[in-house]
Chains A and B, each alone.
Chain A
Amino acid sequence: MSTNLPAGKPPGDRLRASNRRTAFVLLAIAATFFVGIIGSRFIGGQAAGIGVLGGAAVLFLVVAIGRNLCDKR
């Protein structure tokens, strides 16, 4: 998990921002498991599993490309 801190801010703020990002990602994992285990009862295990993995891949690409574009600006 990345600990890169956004530049141009005081160290304390950057650390807090990094902590918040880490916590958000972890909360998202927890939420995915909770929603997934119940949701899989309605849409089926395969659909839920593929949906989660596919969503994670798409999200990763969006974040990676988005950060790359922001850095270039």
Chain B
Amino acid sequence: MSTIAHDHPAGLGDPHAHDDHAHHPTGITRWLTTTNHKDIGTMYLWFSFTMFLVGGTMAMVIRAELFQPGLQIVDPEFFNSMTTLHGLIMVFGAIMPAAVGFANWQIPLMIGAPDMAFARMNNWSFWLLPPAAMLLVISLFVPGGAASGGWTLYPPLTIQTGMGMDLTIFAIHILGASSIMGSINIITTILNLRAPGMTLMRMPLFCWTWLITAYLLIAVMPVLAGAVTMLLTDRHFGTTFFNAAGGGDPVLFQHVFWFFGHPEVYIIILPAFGIVSQIIPAFSRKPLFGYASMVYATAGIAILSFIVWAHHMFTTGMPTAGLLFFMYATMLIAVPTGVKVFNWLATMWRGSMTFEAPMLFAIGFLFLFTLGGFTGLILSVMPVDVQMQDTYYVVAHFHYVMVAGSLFAFFGGAYYWIPKWSGTMYNETLAKVHFWSSLISFNVAFFPMHFLGLAGMPRRIPDYAQQFADWNMVSSIGAFWFGASQLLFLHSMIQCARGNGSKAPARPWEGANTLEWTVPSPAPYHTFETPPHVH
């Protein structure tokens, strides 16, 4: 597919292999000052997995308290902090950085670029994250405790809480700046650094989904920054944006937040769509069905995501016309999403399929994300949502699309690309155990939440009525099992990073035909210094 310039085969990130450069730092200085997209991608991925474990621990605290009715383990304020921080850490600290990690590793390799357009800014984008994460964790230990009003930070409650809220606002500003810088980098790289012959409509779909995601980030992260800035000024500088007594409106915050919040969930899922669009054709040994329609469907989803925000606000007293508009617009998003699901199925149809771990996760994604999408469609029906709002039905819905959706796709992508990143094949048996254990435990944890929501159990409560006890116990058992299963993944990745496993060839997957598989495994520290010509 391409001609490849010289590349020095090297271990993962071995800076000494290319002796035609000046001496590169090693040790901690290397990681602090690196501008190499592979190193930065590696840091993003390890950071995101660490935050996934931190947020996951908080989830275990939540499920331990909810194992039985009554207040056994933590007090209600701490429980609320756990739910709030679990949401913030998982969204901003785990899922989004993981997606950026995949982007950093894969986009230059897939388009034949030597690195990202702004390599130094790339370093900054990553190193803003650990301080922001530390702010969120440290907020647990300040007077008044961490923010405890839910990850959505609604006023008037968040105007009144202690300094933990200020640390959270500061963290969100920093996380937003990191995302914006990363998005500028990704868009500029994709538009300006593609190899000759790599037209936009020949790019791997993962690059397309990230190009569109980056535009979404550019548009909506500043809106979140504006919203939390207004919260900050309401808290400390005498403004009344969200205070009715001063002429403001608490519901204004909800509008501004969800104008960010709904595109945010597509920011979370579109990179996962891109990963699945790489894995399914590779393991079906067939080209992706309907490439152009996949691009247009992704763009359609992104554009529509801007006009559906108030489906999170059906119970705030909007006029009927507004309720109807947002209901119909939300249902409309199911159309391009359905196009993508059918295209993935059509890709597999009459394909020569094998079911290694990446494909298992991709198929698991397909089935469970579709299930989550169906519950989203149910919630889009306004009269239904009025009953289901703030119940566990919503919790079930978004965990199906974000965990069984995004997270499973990221696991699949990690198994798919780890041979290229590390030069070592992962243990297939262990990976399959990880998949089946995660799949079953995830469903044990979250499927009962549909029943709980339909029965009327509210969200964000540390104690509940006796009639909800049985399914909560089942859900907690599934959650503990799911958490434990992720240690298998951690073990697999550490083994690959250490080189404990069989050596990976340049192209371990027979059906994989994108540009990254033309470089050796592990990928050399510098690749495509001379752009390949893509035929």
Residues in A lying within 8 Å of B, measured CB to CB: 1, 3, 15, 18-19, 22-23, 26-27, 29-31, 33-34, 37-38, 41
Taking a contact as CB atoms closer than 8 A, the residue among B184, B188, B219, B252 that contacts A33 in the complex is: B219
Complexed CA–CA distance, A30 and B216 (Å): 10
Complex CA–CA separation, A41 to B528 (angstroms) = 49
**A contact residues around B193 at 8 Å (CB):** 15
Within 8 A of A (CB), among B224-277: 225-227, 229-230, 241, 252, 256, 259
Q: How far is the CB of A38 from chain B (nearest CB, A)?
A: 5
Say whether B221 faces chain A, with CB atoms less than 8 Å apart.
Answer: yes
B182-193: contact bitstring with A at CB < 8 Å (1 yes, 0 no)? 011001100111
Closest beta carbon of chain A to B466's beta carbon, Å: 45
By the criterion CB–CB under 8 Å, are B223 and A41 in contact?
Answer: no
Shortest C-beta distance, B90 to chain A (Å), equals: 24
Contacts of B241 in A (CB 8 A): 41
A17 to B4: give the CA distance in the assembly, Å. Answer: 26
Is the CB–CB distance between A30 and B221 below 8 Å?
yes
> Does A41 lie within 8 Å of B192, measured CB to CB?
no
**B180 CB–A CB distance under 8 Å:** yes
Given A30-B221, A34-B226: A23 and B118 interface contact (C-beta under 8 Å): yes
Q: By the criterion CB–CB under 8 Å, are B187 and A30 in contact?
A: no
The residues of B that contact A19 with a CB separation of less than 8 Å are 117-118, 188, 192
Whether A22 lies near B192 (C-beta < 8 A) is: yes
Q: Which residues of A contact B252 (CB under 8 A)?
A: 41
Measured between beta carbons, the chain A residues less than 8 angstroms from B483 are none
A30 x B256 contact (CB < 8 A)? no
Question: Can you list 15 residue pairs at the A/B interface with Cβ under 8 Å?
Answer: A3-B191, A15-B192, A19-B117, A22-B187, A23-B188, A26-B187, A26-B188, A29-B219, A30-B180, A30-B221, A33-B223, A34-B222, A34-B226, A37-B227, A38-B226
Contact partner of A26 (CB less than 8 A), chosen from B218, B226, B229, is B218
* Residues of chain A within 8 A of B188, CB atoms compared: 19, 22-23, 26
CB-defined contacts of B191 to chain A, threshold 8 Å: 1, 3, 22
For the complex, is B431 an interface residue (Cβ under 8 Å from A)? Answer: no
Nearest residue in A to B256 (C-beta to C-beta)? A37
Chain B 97-123, CB-CB to A under 8 Å as 1, else 0, gives 000000000000000000001100000
Interfacial chain A residues near B43, Cβ < 8 Å: none
From A26, A29, A30, A41, contact of B230 by CB (8 A): A41
Interface of B is mostly: helix
Write the B314-330 contact mask toward A (1 if CB under 8 angstroms, else 0): 00000000000000000
A30 vs B219: C-alpha distance when bound (angstroms): 6
Residue of A nearest to B121 (CB): A23
CA of A31 to CA of B191, assembled, Å = 21
The 6 closest A-B CB pairs, nearest first, are A34-B222, A37-B226, A33-B222, A22-B188, A19-B117, A26-B184
B62 at interface by CB-CB < 8 Å:
no
Residue of A nearest to B116 (CB): A19
Bound CA span A33–B225, Å: 10
- Minimum Cβ distance to chain A for residue B116 (Å): 10
Determine the chain B residues whose CB is within 8 A of the CB of A3 once the complex forms.
191-192
Query: Is the Cβ of B118 less than 8 Å from the Cβ of A33?
Result: no
17 further contact pairs, Cβ within 8 A, besides A27-B184, A33-B218, A37-B223:
A1-B191, A19-B118, A22-B117, A22-B184, A22-B187, A22-B188, A23-B184, A23-B188, A26-B183, A26-B187, A30-B218, A30-B219, A33-B222, A34-B222, A34-B225, A37-B227, A41-B252
CA separation between A1 and B223, bound complex, in Å? 23
Write the nearest CB–CB distance from A66 to chain B, whole angstroms: 22
Binding site for A on B (CB under 8 A): 117-118, 180, 183-184, 187-188, 191-193, 218-223, 225-227, 229-230, 241, 252, 256, 259
Q: Which residues of B contact A30 (CB under 8 A)?
A: 180, 184, 218-219, 221-222
Residue of B with least CB distance to A28 = B218
Most buried by B among A15, A30, A38: A30
Which residues of chain A are near B222, meaning CB under 8 Å?
30-31, 33-34, 37
In the assembled complex, the Cα of A19 lies from the Cα of B259 at a distance in Å of 29
User: Which of A3, A34, A37 has most chain B Cβ within 10 Å?
Assistant: A37
Report the minimum CB–CB distance from A59 to chain B (whole Å): 17
A47–B351 Cα distance when bound, in Å, is 55
Given contacts A19-B118, A26-B183, contact A34 B192 (CB under 8 A): no
Who on chain B is nearest to A22 by CB?
Answer: B188
Residues of B within 8 A of A41 (CB): 230, 241, 252
Residues of B within 8 A of A26 (CB): 183-184, 187-188, 218
Return chain B residues, CB-CB under 8 Å to A22: 117, 184, 187-188, 191-192
Cα separation A1 to B191 with both chains bound (whole Å): 8
Find the B residue at minimum CB distance from A39. Answer: B226
- Write out the residue numbers on chain A whose beta carbons fall within 8 Å of the beta carbon of B187: 22, 26
Chain A residues with CB under 8 A of B259? 37
Chain B residues, Cβ within 8 Å of A34: 222-223, 225-226
Give the complex CA separation of A7 and B191 in angstroms. Answer: 19
Give the distance to chain B from A8, nearest Cβ to Cβ, in Å: 19
User: Nearest residue in B to A32 (C-beta to C-beta)?
Assistant: B222
Bound: A22/B185 CA distance, A: 9
Contact of B183 with A38 in the complex, beta carbons under 8 Å = no
- In whole angstroms, how far apart are the Cα atoms of A71 and B230 in the complex? 45
B177's closest neighbor in chain A, by CB? A30
Shortest Cβ distance from B208 into chain A, in angstroms? 15
Docked Cα-Cα span, A34 to B222, in Å, equals: 5
CA distance A41 to B193 in the complex (A): 40
B-chain residues with CB within 8 Å of residue A18 when the two chains form the complex: 192
